Amino acid sequence: MQIPASTETSAESTLPKAILRSGRGFRLGYTLTSWLGLLPFLLFCLLFELLPAFVIIQGSFADSNSGSFTVNNFQRLLAGISYIHAFQNSISLSLVTALIGAVFGFFAAYGVYNSRANWLRNLLVGFSSIAANFAGVPLAFAFVSTLGVTGFVTVLLHNIFHINLYDAGFSLYTFWGLVLAYVYFQLPLMVLLTVPALSALKPEWREAATNLGASNATYWRRIALPVLMPSLIAAMMLLFANAFGAFATAYALAQGNINLVTIQIAFAVNGNVDFDTGLGNALAVGMIVVLLLAVTLYTAMLRRVSVWQGR
Amino acid sequence: MSNQELFNDFFASRSRRRFLEQAGALGISSVALASFLEACGSSATTTTTTGGSVNMAGPIDMQTLITNAKKEGKLEAVGIPPEWADYKDILDGYAAKYVPIDYQAEAEFSSAQELEVFTKSKSHAHGDIGDVGFKFGPQAMQQGLVTPYKHAHWADVPDNLKDPNGNWCTEYYGTQAFVINTDIVKTPPTSFKDLLSGNYKNQVGIDGDPRQANDAFIAVYSAALAQSGTIDDIQPGIDFFKQLKQKGNFTSARANIANMTKGEVAIGIMWDYLGLGFRDSLKGKPNLKVVIPSDGSIAGPYVSIVNKTAPHPFAARLWVEYLFSDEGQLFFLKGYAHPARYQKLVDAGKVPADLAAKLPAAEQYTNVKFVTDLAKLSKASATLTQNWPSVIGQ
Q: Would you say residue A25 has pLDDT above 90?
A: no
Segment A76-86 shows an average pLDDT of 88
Check A257 against B259: CB less than 8 A apart.
Answer: no
Question: With contact defined as beta carbons under 8 Å apart, do B113 and B132 qualify?
Answer: no
* Angle made by CA atoms A196, A197, A201, in degrees to the nearest 5: 110
| CA nearest to A1, candidates A231, A293, A292, A296 | A231
What tens digit of pLDDT does each residue of A172-186 get?
999 999 999 999 999
pLDDT recorded at residue A157: 93
Check A267 against B202: CB less than 8 A apart.
Answer: no
From A59-68, A240-249, B367-376, the region with the lowest mean pLDDT: A59-68
Question: With contact defined as beta carbons under 8 Å apart, do A208 and A202 qualify?
Answer: no
* DSSP string computed for B247-300: HT-B-SS--SHHHHHHTSSSEEEEEHHHHHHHHHHHTTSS-EEEE--SS--EEE
| CA nearest to A94, candidates A262, A264, A300, A285 | A262
Q: Would you say residue B229 has pLDDT above 70?
A: yes
pLDDT recorded at residue B161: 93
* A148 CB within 8 Å of a chain B CB: yes
What tens digit of pLDDT does each residue of B198-211 get?
899 999 999 988 98
Q: Would you say residue B191 has pLDDT above 80?
A: yes
* B374 CB within 8 Å of a chain A CB: no
How large a percentage of chain A has pLDDT more than 90? 45
Question: With contact defined as beta carbons under 8 Å apart, do B130 and B118 qualify?
Answer: yes
> Mean pLDDT across chain A, nearest whole number?
84
Give the DSSP letter of residue B363: G
Q: Which residues contact B290 (CB under 8 A, 6 or more apart)?
A: B177, B178, B179, B180, B272, B275, B276, B279, B360
Buried/exposed code over B250-264 (b: 16+ C-beta within 10 A; e: otherwise): bbbbbbbebbbbbbb
Distance CA B226, CA B247 (A): 18
Q: Give the nearest partner residue to A85 out of B262, B388, B394, using CB atoms.
A: B394
Distance CA B109, CA A198 (A): 54
Q: Which residues of chain A does B203 touch, with a Cβ-Cβ cutoff of 8 Å?
A: 149
How large a percentage of chain B has pLDDT more than 90? 72
Q: Give the nearest partner residue to A267 out of B203, B211, B254, using CB atoms.
A: B211
pLDDT recorded at residue B113: 86
What tens digit of pLDDT does each residue of B257-278 get?
999 999 999 999 999 999 999 9
Q: Would you say residue B48 has pLDDT above 60?
A: no
Question: With contact defined as beta carbons under 8 Å apart, do B276 and B268 qualify?
Answer: no
Check A267 against B212: CB less than 8 A apart.
Answer: yes
Nearest chain A CA: its distance from B304 CA (Å): 23
Q: Which residues of chain B does A171 touch, with a Cβ-Cβ cutoff of 8 Å?
A: 252
Nearest chain A CA: its distance from B232 CA (Å): 18
Q: Which residues of chain A does B264 touch, with a Cβ-Cβ cutoff of 8 Å?
A: 144-145, 148-151
Q: Give the nearest partner residue to B263 out of A150, A171, A266, using CB atoms.
A: A150
Check B394 against A259: CB less than 8 A apart.
Answer: yes
Other CB atoms within 10 A of residue B240 CB: 24
Counting every residue written for chain A, the total comes to: 311
pTM of the model: 0.77
In terms of average pLDDT, the best of A37-41, A111-115, B1-5 is: A37-41
What tens digit of pLDDT does each residue of A158-170 get?
999 988 888 888 8
Q: Give the nearest partner residue to A82 out of B201, B251, B394, using CB atoms.
A: B394
What tens digit of pLDDT does each residue of A196-232 get?
888 878 888 889 999 999 898 999 898 888 888 888 9
* A23 CB within 8 Å of a chain B CB: no
Distance CA B100, CA A3 (A): 63
* DSSP string computed for A228-268: HHHHHHHHHHHHHHHHHT--HHHHHHHTTSS--HHHHHHHH
Question: With contact defined as beta carbons under 8 Å apart, do B343 and B161 qualify?
Answer: no
pLDDT tier at A276, thresholds 50, 70, 90: confident
E-state strands within chain A? none
Q: Would you say residue B24 has pLDDT above 60?
A: no
Q: Which residues of chain A does B394 touch, with a Cβ-Cβ cutoff of 8 Å?
A: 82, 85, 259
Q: Which residues contact A262 (CB under 8 A, 6 or more apart)?
A: A90, A245, A246, A247, A250, A251, A287
Crossing angle (nearest 10°) for helices B87-97 and B313-324: 120
Tell me the Cα Rg of chain A: 24
* A267 CB within 8 Å of a chain B CB: yes
B residues 193-212 near A, CB within 8 Å? 201-203, 208-212
Segment B327-343 shows an average pLDDT of 94
The count of CB pairs under 8 A between chains A and B is 73
Q: Where are the alpha helices (DSSP H) in B27-148?
A: 30-39, 62-72, 87-97, 111-120, 136-142
